[in-house]
Amino acid sequence: MFSQFALHERLLKAVAELKFVEPTPVQVAAIPPALEGRDLRVTAQTGSGKTAAFVLPMLNRLIGDAQPRVRIRALILLPTRELAQQTLKEVERFSQFTFIKSGLVTGGEDFKYQAAMLRKVPDVLIGTPGRLIEQLNAGNLDLKEVELLVLDEADRMLDMGFSDDVQRLANECANRAQTLLFSATSGGNGLREMVAAVLRDPQHLRLNSISELNEGTRQQIITADDPAHKERLVHWLLANETYQKAIIFTNTRAQADRLYGRLVASDHKVFVLHGEKDQKDRKLAIDRLKQGGVKILVATDVAARGLDVEGLDLVINFDMPRSGDEYVHRIGRTGRAGNDGLAISLICHNDWNLMSSVERYLKQRFERRVIKELKGVYQGPKKVKASGKAVGAKKKKTDDKKGAAKAPAKRKPVAKRPAASTLVSQDGLAPLKKRKPAEE
């Protein structure tokens, strides 16, 4: 309930008017510290409800201390015109029962019209960095008394080359009391530098498990006919891939034990971890893996939770995990600290739909890999033409090695958003299966 937040009644009225019932996870996490005035760095996707997470505390600050409109009190920077326009709409919707006025300054719009709007001095200014700098250079913009600065989609602003402009605009807001920085990814060095330059003792809220995925990890799938075929693929991979340490995930204990037996039989030094193993075995397995005495671990999700082993650079999903979050947790173990990692999922016909859902969740397409010596019959679902005639699976790109192509991000409303761990289909495409117990 939004009434859990110490928001002004006029804002709660707007929230009710907009039929927002439950706050989304990013709102739950960010609104209270933002209301306290803290600087925040928030990692959250577009579509997670992050706009309201900064707009509501911002408006609360401006309402609480109503003043005659003589200065710009809040500045929101965004990378694109469209996002700036959307954000303006959101600000206007939330401020509909207040006297707070907002203005927009983006490229592609009439410069003089914007200058006239700026002369009337909005309380909240929303804009893209390039045009704001132009208005600043023309002497039309005074940001000296901005109290709150928001950098939304900061990672994208950097990607688009706005680093210097953003920095300059932040410097112009020299007397600000609070800065909130939002990004969809955990970003690279550029973002870290910006965080250090513009935020003061920030709290870092990570709302997006996708951000845990290391960019140094390649993600591949290999199709398989059945579990026996998957076992042959595992043997091949362990024999042919270069890796320091590998972890193989299965969805069931029985499968973990079976695979473990097969690997031991072929002289691999391997441990198995699942819910039936006691703490002593678990500790032994993890210690050996850490020390390097054992290079391979077969595990179920439950058993491997929280496992952080240095040098783990190969993850094999013998079965596709049952949720996007579980996938991210598994894969997040590799490619840490800037190292390269490889994640390979073995996909039978019963894994395919899950795999596609995870691709949509991550807005990525996994590399399709074929191991010539072990090429099976199953290559993915057959495409059905409008005529109803099945098209050969070979028409699909089964040996595409171009790597993961990103699908365009989609914005969809997030009404009735479930709990954080089930934010799996926020692209609104296809709901992932509800997570079952991780072992059966």
Q: Exposed (0-12), middle (13-18) or buried (19+): which is 281, by Cβ within 10 Å?
A: middle
The residues pairing with 273 across neighbouring beta strands, listed in sequence order, are: 299
Say whether residue 426 binds ligand AMP (CB under 6 A): no
The residues pairing with 203 across neighbouring beta strands, listed in sequence order, are: 40
Least CB distance to ligand AMP at residue 15 (A): 8
Residue with tokens 């190969």: 314
Q: How far apart are CA 115 and CA 391, in angstroms?
A: 59
Say whether residue 20 binds ligand AMP (CB under 6 A): yes
Q: How far apart are CA 289 and CA 338, in angstroms?
A: 20
Say whether residue 79 binds ligand AMP (CB under 6 A): no
Say whether residue 183 binds ligand AMP (CB under 6 A): no
Pick the stretch among 21-29, 150-158, 298-306, 356-364 that binds ligand AMP (CB under 6 A). 21-29
CA atoms within 13 A on the CB side of 432: 30
Least CB distance to ligand AMP at residue 415 (A): 4
Least CB distance to ligand AMP at residue 406 (A): 18
Out of 23, 79, 202, 332, point to the residue binding ligand AMP (CB under 6 A).
Answer: 23
By CB under 6 A, the count of residues binding ligand AMP is 15
Pick the stretch among 23-31, 104-112, 210-218, 272-280 that binds ligand AMP (CB under 6 A). 23-31
Say whether residue 52 binds ligand AMP (CB under 6 A): yes
Pick the stretch among 20-28, 98-106, 295-303, 304-312 that binds ligand AMP (CB under 6 A). 20-28
Q: Residue 436 corresponds to which tokens in the numbers above?
A: 């079952």
Strand 383-384 relative to strand 390-391, pairing: antiparallel
56: helix, strand or coil: helix
Which residues in 255-271 are b (16+ Cβ under 10 Å) and which e?
bbebbbebbeeeebebb
Closest to ligand AMP by CB, 47 or 79? 47
Q: Which of residues 319-358 bind ligand AMP (CB under 6 A)?
A: none
Say whether residue 51 binds ligand AMP (CB under 6 A): yes
Say whether residue 57 binds ligand AMP (CB under 6 A): no
| 8 Å CB contact between 263 and 269 | no
Which residues contact ligand AMP by CB under 6 A?
20, 22-24, 27, 46-52, 413-415
